[in-house]
Chain A
Amino acid sequence: MAIIETKNLTYTYPGASKPSIDDVSIKVEKGEFVLITGPSGCGKTTLCRCFNGLVPHFYQGEIKGEITVAGINTLDHHTYEMAKHVGLVFQNPENQLFALSIEKDVAFGLENMGTAREVMRKKVDLALNQTGIYDIKERSPHEISGGQQQRVAIAAVIAMSPEIIVLDEPTSFLDPLSAEKIFDVIYRLNKEQGITVILVEHRLDLTAKYTDHLIVMDRGTVRLEGDPREILSSEETKLMGVGIPKATLLYQMLKKEGLKLGDKTPLSSEELADEIMEVLSSK
């Protein structure tokens, strides 16, 4: 059964003249790693806000169509009820952190839900370990690096054991190495624990290799959806101005010129290098 399903979802912010998402119908299966991309202002962030009910409960405005997340119709349920099922991680972790210690920040959501002390301890420790910040748990979230802060934000979300994590450009303020480490953490949560991941990103160079389900949005609508290797090979994707990873682009250019590379469109430099080396060694 789909863990997220929208049918003809259309939403207009208060005072806006046209909808920010327009007739969106998507289906996400449990355990998928979904990547949502598209030109800036295409409705990616707004769609994510629907998944935990921030739209329409917090932002108000006018919503039409249907949306079910983890079996719940979000239109009839408060955002705080959705928090058990859907965790949200934003661009800038500073907006999300506030406690005196990392540990307290990670425990905050569970405390609010009235979780028993022993259970809470276990869940918090597990989340700290999974994100690699257990050793610094006593420190203040405001004296650590941006990359560590983003890990705290992710730990705080997974401590609640959500079925779904939604991350809206979670690494855009981070240096590339810290960004890569964050993506690795997210990827492991997805593969090892089966948490469904929805990642919003422009930079497919960094992220295409993780996904099995790519959604391309444009002007509020879903334009392309499916297997990333297929979508990133299509001419339409290029015309829409989606940033195709350099490795994928180079593969296409070489294929076009007749280099006999394999049929699997590469999504990373490793995949492309392997295919080229195969050609070079076979001679």
Chain B
Amino acid sequence: MIETENIHYSYPNKVEALKGVSLTIKDGEFVAIMGQNGAGKSTFVKHFNGLLKPSSGAVKIDGVETTKSSVAALARNVGFVFQNPDHQLFSETVEEEIAFALKNFGFEPKVVEERVTWALNLLSLTQYRKTSPFLLSGGERKRVALASVLAWNPKTLILDEPTIGQDYEQKEKLRQFIMQMQTQKKTIVTVTHDVEFVAECNPRVILMKEGKIVADGIGREILTDPAKLELSSIVLPQIAQVFAKLSAFGFPKDIIDIYEAKTLLLQTKERHSK
């Protein structure tokens, strides 16, 4: 469980990035944090694995304050995948990159080998096993960064903008993977601008603006509320845009799922043909 209690955070240059944020994320929840550039989203989630410690207020992971444990100890349970993979990658081959943390955590060589193979396979990176991460495309590097964290199987996963530079198929794989993690009761927190991705996953959505939380609710509610979204510089997902226009014809506005949209629209067809 992740709990933040009225946390404030100021960077050394005195910019106050968080202005009193309280949030509880239960085990097994899937949460998307969205909002304008500079709203404090990344700063906020960096508190979850102790990378940042609050200037005031408290962050507790499973009841223990992050000020009382080390980043190394927290990392075992809270895996963090950065927005920019280049801040994370440093090894000479993809394989070494993924094995690095596993070795550090003291896994047996055989287990390391198995976990590396598993992670490479999961993220379609097997063909790059012996390649330098720096020869790969932006999207591929991003997957290497993700694989290196998934490999040690942390209980909580923080994904900062995981879909940047990813094509449709990779996004779909990521979505399925997140669903699979959900069935294993893993906690997933993602910071993202990708409204279509969020609409497809339909997690709990938190909107941030200027260092504060301005909305918290289920995806379907938040993503179909134009006033709330505009406050956070987010646009409606495409299906919700269509239904916002169709509401004049008596359709509900809170539709984000394409199959639900199809069913609703086909019902009117039957009505008309009778």
Contacts and interface: CB of A to CB of B under 8 A. Distances in A.
A202 B35 CA distance: 21
B165 interface: yes
Interface stretch (A106-114, A125-133, A271-279): A271-279
Contact of A250 (B172, B242, B269): B242
A173 B245 CA distance: 29
Contact of A246 (B137, B193, B237, B246): B237
B155 interface: no
B140 A175 contact: no
A23 interface: no
A205 interface: yes
Interface in A201-257: 202-203, 205, 241-247, 249-250, 253-254, 257
B238 A246 contact: yes
Contacts of B245: 269-270, 273, 277
B265 interface: yes
Interface in B33-69: 35-38
B160 to A, nearest CB: 11
Nearest to B140: A41
B202 interface: no
A147 interface: yes
Contact of B269 (A38, A40, A257, A273): A257
Q: What is the interface residue range for chain B against chain A?
A: 35 or more
> Which residue, B165, B170, B268, has most C-beta atoms of chain A within 10 A?
B165
A185 B235 CA distance: 17
A277 B246 contact: yes
A145 interface: yes
Contacts of A276: 242, 246, 265
A280 B249 contact: yes
Interface string B16-40: 0000000000000000000111100
A68 interface: no
B165 A202 contact: yes
B246 A176 contact: no
Nearest to A280: B249
A53 to B, nearest CB: 20
A146 interface: yes
B139 A205 contact: no
10 contacts: A40-B170, A45-B137, A91-B165, A173-B83, A175-B35, A203-B194, A245-B238, A253-B262, A276-B246, A276-B265
- List the 10 closest A-B pairs by CB distance, nearest first: A40-B139, A243-B168, A269-B241, A241-B169, A273-B245, A246-B238, A177-B233, A175-B233, A146-B37, A41-B137
